[in-house]
Structure formats: C-alpha cells, structure tokens
Amino acid sequence: MRDQLHLLRSQRFLPLFITQFFGAFNDNAFKNAFLIWFTYDVAVRTGLDGPTMVTLAAGLFILPFFLFSATAGQLADKLEKSRFTQRLKLIEIGLMVTASLFFYLQNIYGLLLVLFMMGVQSTFFGPIKYSLLPEHLEDDELIGGNALIEAGTFLSILLGTIFGGLVVRTEYGLPLLAAFLIGFSIIGWMGSRKIPATPVSDPNVKIGWNIFRETWQITKFARQEHSVWLSIIGISWFWFVGATFLTQFPVFTSDVIGGNEHIVTLFLALFSIGICVGSVLCNKLLKGEINGKLVPYGSSGMTVSIAIFVIAAYQFGVDRAAYINQTAAVAAHELGLAEFLGIGVSSWGIMVGLLGLAISAGLYIVPLYAIMQHRSEDRILSRVIAASNVIGAFFMVVASVMVAALYSINFTSVQVLLLVGLMNIPAFFVVRSIVSRRLKDA
C-alpha cells in the first residue's frame, strides 16, 4: 500500500480534490459572511431578527438536497461526469458574481436566493464527486481517496467559515469578499477542467421530474444491496451527530462556557482538524483494505469522547464559578480564549473530548463511504450516492427538530449533547452487528 498522499500528485485525484475543496470553501465563506454581515450590520440598522435569519439560511441551503438529489443522481449517471462538473463550476462563478452584485445592492432576498442556488449546485455535485472516486482510483486507493476528500471537506469548511467571517468585517469587507469568492470559484472551475473523462454510467437513464416518485426510486436502488443500505444509514447517523454538535457550539459557548466567538472558532477548529486526523489515520490502519472493521471502534470512541466532553463541561461550571470568585470578575463577563484555556483541567477536558469525538468520527465515516462505493453497481452508483445525500439531509433535519423540542422542555445544551452520546450506545451495537454480518468481506 502506498501512502495516500501520492494521490495529491496524481491527475486522477488532485483536480477533483481542488474542485471539491474550493467549492466547499466558497459555500461556507459565502454563507458565514452573509450571516455575520446581516447580524452585525443589517440587523442592527433595521431591527430584523438575526436568529431567524440563521435558521432560514440553514433551511434554504439544505432544502435542495430534498428537492433535487434524485435528479442530480440521474444526471450524474446519464452524463459524462467531468464535463458536467465543469458546467456546474461555471454556474458557481455566475452565482458568485450575482452574490457580489446583491452585496453591493444590500439585497437580502437576492442573497438568500443565491444561498439557495449554492445549495442546488452542491446537491448536483455531491453524487459526482463520490462516484468519480471508484472510477479513477484502484480498489486499494479508495479508502485513502475518501479519507482525503473528507479531510479536505472539513478543512475547507473550517477555513471558509473563518475566512468569510473575518473578511466581511474589515473596512472594505464586501468588495474584498466579492473578489475572493469569484477568484476561488474560478480556481474550482480550472481544477474541474483537469478532471479526466470517464465512461457514461447509464446513458439510457430517463430523467423524471416527479420529485417524490424519483426520490423513492433512488432509495430503492440504494436498498438493492443490503450492506450498501446499512452503510448509508451509518453515514446518515454520522451527520446526525455531527450536525448536532456543530450547531450547538455557539449555544454551548455562550451558556456553559460564558465565552466569546473566538472559543466557538476554537471548537470548530478542533472538530474539523479531528475529522481530518481520523480520516487520514483510517487509511494507515486499514492499509488500503476496504472493510468496516474500524467502524465499531470509531462508534465506541465517539461515545467515550462525548462522555469525557460532558463530564468536563459540568466540571467547567464549577471551575468557572471559582475563577469568578478568585478574580472578582463580573459573572456576566465573557471569557476570552486565553481565560478559557487557563481556567483549569476541565477546559482541556472539553477540548480532548471534542477532539476525540472528531477523530473517532473520521475513523467511523471513511470506511462506510468506501464500502458504499465499492459494493454499489457502477451503473447506478450516482443515484445510490444521491439517496445517501437525501437520507443524510433527513437525519440532519431530525437532529434540528429534536434539539428544538428538547430546548422547549428546558434541556440545556450539555444535556442535549449527553443525550446524543447515550443514543450512540445502541448505535454502536447496531454498527457492530452490521460489520460482523455484512461488511467484513466488503
């Protein structure tokens, strides 16, 4: 087995990696810049509700995965994927130019429309990127390729989120943001032009426009191979846990830590870096072999790490109170990053728990993606991946609804995250059963 980093020197992989990286970067830079600009500028001037806009933006970005995933999977199987990707990236350039115009005009509704269209563009690219991997890579490279894609995705989410939030708050924030977004979309398009062409998977696919019927049809394709279907459920559970933690970072930081936005960024960085580390480590441990033996270890590691995180969070409340008493600080005082790190062992326990969760999640998710790709029929692979995207989006929506319901009955953010950890215990036994019965020979 060669080191997976050799893929970053190969035209079979590097252009796709660049295309994916800058696409995810632009998505998150634009989305976070819009929300920061709205919250700290528009909402202050107009009195509009910031939290409502955050919820609306999240909903608009995820809605296309429900509406268009079936069509995206059909088109990815029917068309030549590299040329289809180039067209999508040209559309992204147009969207970034349009976003720049709407920022200049300060048109909120136009920017929301662009956000929705970015979600549409991501929906159509999703089945392509994962179905191209088994077409361009050897079997013993598939784990490594998925690991790099996952690591790159979370790194681009981190960097894009930070970049968008920082640039938009500078003196010439909006013009600079526009220039960078357009520039990065052009880099993504240039990368897509170097993706090698592949044979069309199924030129006889008939595009159906009945969203509900076609979505049901792609889930039927996904259920044809039982191990593929179980892998999709496992992947969707990862997004359930991940979405819950990612959306709770601001609330947890405010209510439990009593800290500022720099601590939120620290948590996001730890989570993203941990996913990168776990994903890359996965290939070394499996030595390129496609099987699910690491998945139960990843699942159990997630549960243990959540337990560490929750215990440390409860202890942090005690340590913070002691810190306030010792320093005569005002209880409402927001902690900075240095203060958070210096309060005590509980601060580091929170970070260790979060990093452990992310590393374990990386070990958990990469083999499941590789198994789904390897065991699916080539002719329908893009539609199977589209089904995975729909189900993953559904799990994230369920996570959001669950969190809202728990807050309505006075759960705290720590209790919400503790519940997710408890829910992961039966998930471990399900995953272990799946591996022992179905995935060990994948």
- Measured CA to CA, the distance from residue 73 to residue 388 in angstroms comes to 10
Distance CA 407, CA 225 (A): 39
* Rounded (5°) CA angle 28-30-33: 100
Q: How far apart are CA 88 and CA 16, in angstroms?
A: 13
First to last CA, the chain: 18
pLDDT means over runs of 10, the chain (442 residues)? 73 92 92 82 63 75 88 90 93 95 89 92 90 86 88 90 85 88 95 90 83 87 82 90 86 83 87 91 83 87 94 88 69 76 89 95 90 84 89 89 86 89 83 60 46
Pick one of 2.30.40.10, 1.20.1250.20, 1.20.58.1690, 3.60.21.10 as the CATH number of 221-442. Answer: 1.20.1250.20
Question: What letter would DSSP give residue 41?
Answer: I
- Apex CA 303: angle with CA 302 and CA 308, to 5°? 95
Q: What is the pTM of this model?
A: 0.86
Q: At what angle do helices 50-78 and 14-37 cross, to 10 degrees?
A: 160
- Under CATH, to which class is 1-196 assigned? mainly alpha
Angle at 189 between CA 183 and CA 195, to 5 degrees: 145
Q: For residues 190 and 149, give the distance between their C-alpha atoms in angstroms, rounded to a whole number.
A: 18
Q: Which two tokens stand for residue 15?
A: 């252009």
Q: Give the pLDDT score at 2.
A: 57
- Cα 360 to Cα 354: distance, rounded to the nearest angstrom: 10
Return d(Cα 49, Cα 32) in angstroms, integer: 16
Cα 281 from Cα 365, distance rounded (Å): 12
| C-alpha–C-alpha distance, residues 311 and 350, integer Å | 8
Residues 76 and 84 sit within 8 Å (Cβ to Cβ):
yes
Residues 6+ apart with CB under 8 A from 233: 391
CA atoms within 13 A on the CB side of 65: 22
pLDDT value at residue 14 = 92
Instruction: Tell the burial category of 332 from Cβ atoms under 10 Å away from its Cβ (0-12, 13-18, 19+).
Output: exposed
pLDDT score of 437 = 53
Is residue 187 a contact partner of residue 121, using CB atoms and an 8 Å limit? no
- The residues spanned by each domain of the chain are 1-196, 221-442
